[in-house]
Amino acid sequence: MVHAVVGAQFGDEGKGKMVDYFAVQADMVIRYQGGGNAGHTIVNEHGKFALHLVPSGIFNPSTVCVLGTGVVIHPANLVKELRTLQEAGISTDNLVISERAHLVLPYHIWQDAYEEASRKKKVGTTLQGIGPAYQDKTGRFGIQIGEMRDLRRFRERLEQAFAAKLQRMPGMAEFSGSFEEMWDELMAAREVLLPHIQDSLPLIQKAIRAEQHVLLEGQLGVMRDLDWGTYPFVTSSNPIAGATSVGAGIPPTAIRRVTGITKAYTTAVGEGPFPTRLDDAFGQYLRDKGHEYGATTGRPRACGWLDLPTLRYGAWLNGYTELALMKLDVLSGLPEIRVCTGYELNGEVHDTPLLTADMEQVQPVYQTLPGWQEDIDDVSSYDDLPANARAFVEFVEQRVGVPIAYVSVGPDRKQTLVR
């Protein structure tokens, strides 16, 4: 069975925890898009980890973990992440890197800084070089990681690409280092990564034909999708379920299960419209109690009430077969909980996201639900949740039209309630 796990909001929903939870039973986990700007926080019996590139199934030694063709990879950063895992006693022998995945090179990071500094209105990029790497990929200037095998040809391609980059953007020179510094960094990473680089397609075909459990793990969420998100405040790839088959190398007809991951409230990092954003004591309460700081950048996340139009929008685009509702415990202690049921613009109420220029002007329409005072961190059964907590879950489920199969009441893998 092929099972896609996708973000139902702006990213940072808790996909890493749920992939870690599902991976206990999985034979293969494939990261299908994005790069090191992902920040999947995992808490399990091994400790607490922030994974940026490595698939979240790495903690299960019998699970094959694939960095898929749709991912862009910064070699030195991947090596650092592997060493952090190895120092914690986690084997990384089960990691496979698709030879077709594209490289994030040092000059992509320099370009990212140059372009963001040049913008009058910031996009809020993480400055990880992800956007420029995807630009080169679609512009046919990119370099695939499998090309690192042939050193002579790789150096020739890299010299040409570096020179062309500086020629097209001479202003980038003030942000850049030398070619030889970049080459030395890549050569050090190459020695570590070469044993993991291979043609991943035969492995994936074999797993699917054998009807093994294959998990597809993405980065960010539907509202940061390049085509369907709040453009231009989006990522440079497609996190939605439709992109899983492209980035992983799987026919779309093979995908049987799609789990959408949503928090019990809404958060976002970066710029762009966020209708339910709370710049008040409630927003700070959610940020502090939910530890809402980016795993990659450390930036504080904007926090707000749950946005049902976004969830309904994602339900259509992704075809969720189920939802996982994360961080329900963060809402404990609030006397009332508000939920956005629509957006008001010029006297008309809309129940789905609009173009970004309109989203910057909408006013959220709220429904208020009673809160609960009890701590729920130690609750081990859904039926043992406070009545108002269950009512909140069931209200969301009914309004989105997708069953909520999992409810998370804490960061640990064990703090996951199955309905």
CB atoms near residue 97 (< 10 Å): 25
Residue 358 falls in the annotated catalytic set: no
- Which of 407, 216, 401, 221 minimizes the C-alpha distance to 316? 401
Q: How far apart are CA 393 and CA 325, in angstroms?
A: 8
pLDDT at 111: 83
Alpha helices in 273-335 (DSSP H): 281-289, 308-318
Measuring CA to CA, which residue among 256, 201, 210, 251 is closest to residue 4?
A: 256
Full DSSP string of 148-215: GGSHHHHHHHHHHHHHHHHHH-GGGGGG---HHHHHHHHHHHHHHHGGGEE--HHHHHHHHHTT--EE
The class level of CATH for 102-194 reads: mainly alpha
The whole-number pLDDT of residue 42 equals 79
What is the per-residue pLDDT for 175?
61
Q: Cα–Cα distances in Å, from 381 out to 15, 332, 405, 414?
A: 21, 16, 13, 11
Of 12, 20, 112, 329, the active-site residue reads 12
With helix as H, strand as E and coil as C, how does 351-415 read?
Answer: CCCCCHHHHCCCEEEEEEEECCCCCCCCCCCHHHCCHHHHHHHHHHHHHHCCCEEEEECCCECCC
**Closest alpha carbon to 413 in 144, 7, 46:** 46
Tokens standing for 63? 């699970």
Q: Which CATH class is domain 1-99+199-419?
A: alpha beta
Q: pTM value?
A: 0.92
Strand partners of residue 416:
408
Query: What whole-number distance in Å separates Cα of residue 245 and Cα of residue 237?
Result: 13
pLDDT at 16 (0 to 100): 86
pLDDT at 122: 62
What is the structure's pLDDT at 294? 72
For each of the chain's 419 residues, which pLDDT tens digit applies?
999 999 999 999 999 899 889 988 999 999 999 998 777 777 777 888 888 999 988 998 889 999 999 999 999 999 999 999 999 999 999 999 999 999 999 889 888 877 777 776 666 677 788 989 999 999 998 999 999 999 999 999 999 998 888 888 776 666 667 888 889 999 999 999 999 999 999 999 999 999 999 999 998 999 999 999 999 999 999 999 999 999 999 999 999 999 999 999 999 988 899 999 999 998 999 999 999 987 666 778 999 999 999 999 999 999 999 999 999 999 999 999 999 999 999 999 999 999 999 999 999 999 999 999 999 999 999 999 999 999 999 999 999 999 999 999 999 888 999 99
Query: Domain residues of the chain, as ranges?
Result: 1-99+199-419, 102-194
- 261-290 CB burial, b ≥16 within 10 A, e <16: bbbbbbbbbbbbbbbbbbeeebbebbbebb
Tell me the residue type at 85. L
Q: Verify whether residue 40 is a known catalytic residue.
A: yes
Of 3, 20, 27, 40, which is the active-site residue? 40
Segment 75-105, tens digit of pLDDT = 999 999 999 999 999 999 999 999 999 999 9
Cα separations in angstroms, 1 against 79, 193, 214, 259, 403: 31, 29, 6, 13, 20
Please report, as a single letter, which amino acid is at residue 297. T
Would you state the structure tokens that stand for residue 17, as one six-digit string? 């925890």
Give Rg (Cα) of the chain: 21
pLDDT digits (tens, 9 = 90+) for 178-207: 888 889 999 999 999 999 999 999 999 999
Distance, C-alpha 321 to centroid of its chain? 19
Which tens digits make up the pLDDT trace of 326-363? 999 999 999 999 999 999 999 999 999 999 999 999 99
Distance CA(345)–CA(179), nearest Å, equals 52
Distance CA 357, CA 351 (A): 16
Percentage of the chain beyond pLDDT 90 is: 77
pLDDT at 173: 66
Residue type, 268: A
